[in-house]
Amino acid sequence: MARILDSWLWVLRKIRLHYDVIGQIALLCLLVLGVLDYGYFFHGWDLLWWRQMVLQEEITPLSVLLHIGGVKVAIILVLTMWSYTRQAAEKRLQRNHDMPITQVRKRYCRFLIMRLLASLDKLIQHHPRMEDFLERHKDFADAVELFRWEARKLFERTDLQLCLPLHEVLPVENQQEKDLLHQGYGEKLHRLRELDIHMMVYEN
């Protein structure tokens, strides 16, 4: 069991070290598969059709240059899009990485409570039909289970999670957090403590 865990940790370190190359290869594979799937779904072009087209095409220096130029242009466009998205993600991750540990934990606690309160508000709203109330009640029960599951990360961490940065173990959805703060759910949570979360999770 220890060897299996060590091997997974080694693979995880390699992926984190070369994530940009892996992402570019995966994006290129998705692009190729997308072209093949589009051709087969809309025009019936299977792999044998593509092979036949390649064999029938006359190979000349000009055609080789044109194909190489087209591939380069496609790669440049893909890498440009990738760089824009990666820069935005890196800025967001850098902000989270620079955040102190206590701030990461406090922000995570606040996010969990705000999300739970939003689900509670949906439950206590006026529902003219019993079916709507039962559906909201089920959603709230699911929200409570999700809260208890994710809140345990504050106090219980696996060996794999101990190797990860804290902001990756305790993630916060930025857009959802902004929406909840805009709706006023964070106004009365300034005195929220981790002890309060612990009591809600482990004490009946």
* Per-residue model confidence as pLDDT tens digits over 145-166: 989 999 988 888 877 777 888 8
Distance CA 98, CA 116 (A): 27
H helix intervals, the chain: 2-17, 19-43, 47-56, 61-98, 101-124, 130-151, 159-162, 166-169, 174-182, 194-202
DSSP letter (8 states) at residue 193: -
Q: What is the mean pLDDT of the chain?
A: 80
Q: What average pLDDT does this structure show over 110-131? A: 85
pTM confidence score: 0.54
DSSP E strands: which ranges in 54-148?
A: none
The C-alpha atoms of residue 1 and residue 159 are separated, in whole angstroms, by 13
pLDDT band, residue 4 (cuts 50/70/90): confident
What does the pLDDT read at residue 42?
84
Q: What is the pLDDT of residues 124-139, one digit of tens each?
A: 887 678 887 888 888 8
120's enclosing H/E stretch is: helix 101-124
Q: pLDDT band at 98, cuts 50/70/90?
A: low
pLDDT at 92 over 70: no
Tell me whether residue 113 is exposed, middle or buried, using C-beta atoms within 10 angstroms of its C-beta: 0 to 12, 13 to 18, 19 or more. Answer: buried
Q: Exposed, middle or buried: residue 86 (CB in 10 Å: 0-12, 13-18, 19+)?
A: middle
Q: Taking residues 168-191, what's their average pLDDT?
A: 86
What is the percent of the chain where pLDDT is above 90?
5
At residue 93 the predicted structure's pLDDT band, cuts being 50, 70 and 90, is low
Residue with the larger pLDDT of the pair 116 and 91: 116
pLDDT value for 97: 59
- Residue 81 or residue 198, greater confidence: 198
pLDDT tens, 6-61?
A: 677 777 777 777 777 777 788 778 888 888 888 888 888 888 887 887 777 777 77
pLDDT level of residue 2 (50, 70, 90 thresholds): low
When pLDDT is cut at 50, 70 and 90, the band that residue 204 belongs to is low
